[in-house]
Amino acid sequence: MKYRLVIFDFDGTLANSFPFFLGALDELAERHGFRKIAPERVDRLRHLTARQMLDHVGLPMWKLPLVARSFMTLMNKGAGAITLFDGVGEMLAHLARAGVTLAIVTANSRENVHRVLGPDNVRLIEHFECGASIFGKHSRIGKVLGSSAIPAREAIYIGDQTTDAEAARREGVAFGAVSWGYGAIEALQSLTPDELFERVRAIGRIAGSRT
């Protein structure tokens, strides 16, 4: 088995929260004083890095934790409208049955993650590191490596944004890019991910037999 530890990002990787995020953007922009994003520009902006996106909307770095907390609060209220991507439950169960250790490192809150995952999927995850800064996920990945006692060379972080790739590389773990998340797959491919997953089911190949 190439990877004994699979660490997942949550939003855009396991949870289909991007439509909810777009719906909340105007409220967040008004509350925190950054520029709104016109609907016709959304697809183009998915090709930007997180730092480029912050510059584009005029959001200073110091405000980012405030905006993140506001988004998590809104998501908590509307979590019933957010679902997992098709096949996530089956994929997680397949990996767990094969003996893969599963973890989640995310900027979202533990409460939101548990609510969207549901109890059956929560039981499959051995390590949760929630509430991370989008630019601080590497340290949370390091915590998972330490608590799992699995070396970085046998771990992979699977995510949907360039910051996920940066975090994985800083901790020396492989990076797996998904094609269905917040970031455009072309932007992720430019970072030469170790694995590229074009559908949820394909992640199961980590444990063999599912493509």
Give pLDDT tens digits for 64-116.
888 888 888 888 887 678 999 999 999 999 999 999 999 999 999 999 999 99
Global confidence as pTM: 0.91
Cα 5 to Cα 47, 55, 148, 180, 190: the distances in Å are 29, 35, 8, 22, 25
Query: Do residues 174 and 201 lie in contact, with contact meaning Cβ atoms separated by under 8 Å?
Result: no
pLDDT band of 11, cuts 50, 70, 90: very high
% of the chain residues with pLDDT over 70:
98
Cα 26 to Cα 41, 46, 47, 134: the distances in Å are 14, 17, 20, 20
- Range of weakest confidence among 33-47, 94-108, 155-169: 33-47
Read off the pLDDT of residues 168-187 as tens digits, 9 standing for 90 and up.
999 999 999 999 999 989 99
pLDDT band of 165, cuts 50, 70, 90: very high
**Mean pLDDT score of the chain:** 91
pLDDT at 155 over 90: yes
Cα 77-83-89 angle, rounded to 5 deg: 135
pLDDT band of 43, cuts 50, 70, 90: confident
Instruction: Note the pLDDT of residue 22.
Output: 84
Strand partners, 159: 177
Instruction: Note the pLDDT of residue 47.
Output: 79
Instruction: Note the pLDDT of residue 211.
Output: 45
